[in-house]
Amino acid sequence: MARVGLTPDRLTEAGAELADEVGFDQVTVSALARRFDVKVASLYSHVKNSQDLRTRIALLALAEMADRAAEALAGRAGKDALAALANVYRDYAREHPGRYAAAQLRLDPQTAAASAGVRHARMTRALLRGYDLTEPDQTHAVRLLGSVFHGYVSLELGGGFSHSAPDTEETWARILDALDTLLRNWPAAPTDPRG
Amino acid sequence: MARVGLTPDRLTEAGAELADEVGFDQVTVSALARRFDVKVASLYSHVKNSQDLRTRIALLALAEMADRAAEALAGRAGKDALAALANVYRDYAREHPGRYAAAQLRLDPQTAAASAGVRHARMTRALLRGYDLTEPDQTHAVRLLGSVFHGYVSLELGGGFSHSAPDTEETWARILDALDTLLRNWPAAPTDPRG
DNA sequence: CCACTTGCCTAAAAGCTTTAGGAAGATGCA
DNA sequence: TGCATCTTCCTAAAGCTTTTAGGCAAGTGG
């Protein structure tokens, strides 16, 4: 009785909040039921199982980040755009660590293809149009940017850079500088080992 | 009866193998007990709890990677050393995905300080002595390398680069090239926004 | 050979996941 | 309004994991 009004979307949203509060791997069907003050089994009418719930949270996070990225990129080009996109990821991870962790969830190919992940790839490619890269190199650059953004954000979030002296703000700025320089002078052909 | 000869080290090693086979997050005290054909409670004499087990696996992975890195760096400098170190991480992650995942486990500061993590940091710094970087920049470069290595490896491992056209081998080579170039011409001061 | 330590065991409580089937609230149609 | 139906949430129950407490037997040392 006293229907609470559960829906897959409400559960996903609440699951995302829970993830940000206690960590993505602590998101459990039980915890979510507790949060709605409802019996555990009730959730299984709205969500297939635990994995399904986690996948939905991942998709939500990817979509939210893509929305932010699209807004940040609008009207920007070159280094401005680079910094804007990079900051979207970093800021999102800081504001929503659980959601960010969710976005790293390995999705099966079909789900991934239907996710906002493809928007991310497209936006990174769009950003690179501000630099002079032809096709094979553009893909390499997309992958480099993805690696740096994800690697930096996850190391920073995991405390990998704590305690050390120059603050991470400074490092972040310098890395964006470096990436911009690199993209503007992308080393052409595979260089000879004895360069 | 029939003592199996459990020790913390044997459990850790077996846990690492299990992680590589079924994924780090599937490493459970129960599964490990099954593997030794022993009752679950028996493991609790050797390992404090589930978290303790996971931490031990993480420390093992960090140490193994550090050993490989030390060997790979011996006698190398410059781009050779850069590629050698980078490949240690990439190869380790491919050979031991579960252990690599374990190495990302967030450790509490004390444990982290006593781990092989500090050797990794030292080796990256040593590698950078082959390039001309003075102190604040050196730290920035350490963080950049850490980000790229970790980011690339984890995206590649997670299938983030699958399906696309230029193969990842090629991209990896180009990224190492790019990093080498970047480190040799590290952009000096914070550049002006309108560079 | 006896005392002691250690290693693995049984037992049990507590939490999470998932399925099956029931009952009350909402909805739709006459 | 009245009744059938569907939906939402519930109880019950089985299975798995974690963790603690206490017991017996296998090695170890004197």
User: Domain-by-domain residue ranges, chain A?
Assistant: 8-184
Closest CA to B62 of B93, B17, B22: B93
| Structure letter (DSSP) for residue A166 | S
Which pLDDT score, from 0 to 100, does residue A83 have? 98
What would the pLDDT profile of A110-169 be if each residue is shown by its tens digit?
A: 999 999 999 999 999 999 999 999 989 999 999 999 999 999 999 999 887 876 778 899
Interface check for A191 against chain B (CB to CB < 8 A): the answer is: yes
- What the block records as the tokens of A188 is 């052409």
What would the pLDDT profile of B5-21 be if each residue is shown by its tens digit?
A: 899 999 999 999 999 99
B30 touches strand D (CB under 7 A): yes
Average of pLDDT values for A80-107? 97
Cα separations in angstroms, A104 against A61, A68, B155: 10, 17, 9
Which pLDDT score, from 0 to 100, does residue A158 have? 87
Taking the CA of residue B153 and the nearest CA in chain A, the distance in Å comes to 8
For residues B187 and B83, the model is more confident at: B83
Number of neighbours of residue B80 by Cβ within 10 angstroms: 16
Asked whether residue A12 carries a pLDDT value surpassing 50, the answer given is: yes
Which of A150, A166, A185 lies nearest to residue B155, judging by beta carbons? Answer: A150
Asked whether residue A191 carries a pLDDT value surpassing 60, the answer given is: no
Cβ-Cβ contacts under 8 Å for A62 (sequence gap 6 or more): A103, A115, A116, A117, A120
Which pLDDT score, from 0 to 100, does residue A127 have? 96
B25 chain-A contacts, CB cut-off 8 A: 25
- Chain A residue with CA closest to B104: the answer is A158
Side chain identity at residue A51, one-letter code: Q
What would the pLDDT profile of B115-162 be if each residue is shown by its tens digit?
A: 999 999 999 999 999 999 998 999 999 999 999 999 999 999 988 787
Judge: A150–B149 Cβ closer than 8 Å, yes or no. Answer: no
Number of neighbours of residue B192 by Cβ within 10 angstroms: 6
- What the block records as the tokens of B72 is 């790979």
Task: Give the Cα separation of B77 and B87 in Å (integer).
Answer: 14
Asked whether residue A190 carries a pLDDT value surpassing 70, the answer given is: no
CA of A51 to C1' of C13 (A): 27
The structure tokens 């960010």 sit at A100
Backbone angles phi, psi at B44, to 5 degrees: -75, -5
What would the pLDDT profile of B18-57 be if each residue is shown by its tens digit?
A: 999 999 999 999 999 999 999 999 999 999 999 999 999 9
Which pLDDT score, from 0 to 100, does residue B155 have? 95
Q: Which CATH number fits domain B8-184: 3.30.365.10, 1.10.357.10, 3.60.10.10, 3.90.1150.10?
A: 1.10.357.10
Give a three-class secondary structure readout of chain B. CCCCCCCHHHHHHHHHHHHHHHCHHHCCHHHHHHHHCCCHHHHCCCCCCHHHHHHHHHHHHHHHHHHHHHHHHCCCCHHHHHHHHHHHHHHHHHHCHHHHHHHCCCCCHHHHHCCCHHHHHHHHHHHHCCCCCCHHHHHHHHHHHHHHHHHHHHHHHCCCCCCCCCCHHHHHHHHHHHHHHHHHCCCCCCCCCCC
Which pLDDT score, from 0 to 100, does residue A195 have? 36
Which of A139, A170, A186 lies nearest to residue B164, judging by beta carbons? Answer: A139
- Chain A residue with CA closest to B23: the answer is A106
Side chain identity at residue B128, one-letter code: L
Which pLDDT score, from 0 to 100, does residue B192 have? 52
Average of pLDDT values for B81-98? 98
Cα separations in angstroms, A158 against A152, B98, B156: 10, 18, 20
Which pLDDT score, from 0 to 100, does residue A187 have? 86
Task: Give the Cα separation of B94 and B84 in Å (integer).
Answer: 15
**How many Cα atoms within 13 Å fall on the side-chain side of residue B30?**
2
CB A146 within 8 A of CB A124: yes
Q: Angle A135-157/A78-95 helices, nearest 10 degrees?
A: 30
